[in-house]
Amino acid sequence: MIACTLQAISILLKESSEWDWFINLSASDYPLMTQDDLLHAFSNLSRNLNFIELMQITGWKLNQRAKPIIIDPGLYLSKKSDLAWTTQRRSLPTSFKLFTGSAWVMLSRSFLEYCIWGWDNLPRTILMYYTNFVSSPEGYFHTVICNNEEFRPTAVSHDLHYIAWDSPPKQHPISLSMKDFDKMVKSNAPFARKFARDDPVLDKIDKELLGRKSRFAPGAWCIGNPDGGADPCSVRGNDSVFRPGPGAVRFQELLQTLLSEDFQKKQCT
What ranges make up the beta strands (E) of the chain? Answer: 21-23, 30-31, 50-51, 55-56, 99-100, 106-108, 155-156, 161-162, 191-192
Q: Establish if 39 belongs to a structural domain.
A: no
Tens-digit pLDDT profile for residues 16-28? 888 999 999 988 8
Q: Establish if 164 belongs to a structural domain.
A: no
CA separation for the pair 34, 243 (Å, rounded): 9
Q: Are 30 and 193 in contact (CB under 8 A)?
A: yes
Q: Are 167 and 159 in contact (CB under 8 A)?
A: no
Tens-digit pLDDT profile for residues 178-223? 999 999 999 999 999 999 988 999 999 999 999 887 677 888 888 8
Q: Establish if 72 belongs to a structural domain.
A: yes
More confident residue, 87 or 115: 115
Q: Establish if 96 belongs to a structural domain.
A: yes
By C-alpha distance, which of 107, 115, 111, 103 is closest to 22? 107
Q: Establish if 103 belongs to a structural domain.
A: yes
Q: Establish if 252 belongs to a structural domain.
A: no
Q: What is the pLDDT of residue 85?
A: 45
Q: Which domain holds residue 85?
A: 2-24+47-156
Q: Establish if 74 belongs to a structural domain.
A: yes
Over residues 139-152, mean pLDDT: 95
Radius of gyration of the chain, Cα coordinates, nearest whole angstrom = 21
Q: What is the pLDDT of residue 194?
A: 93
Number of structural domains (the chain) is 1
Element (H, E) at 264: helix 261-264
Q: Establish if 34 belongs to a structural domain.
A: no
By C-alpha distance, which of 20, 99, 10, 118 is closest to 61? 99
CA separation for the pair 16, 9 (Å, rounded): 11
Other Cβ atoms less than 10 A from the Cβ of 254: the count is 16
CA separation for the pair 146, 53 (Å, rounded): 11
Tens-digit pLDDT profile for residues 64-98? 778 877 765 555 555 554 444 445 788 888 899 99
Q: What is the pLDDT of residue 49?
A: 96
Average pLDDT, the chain: 88
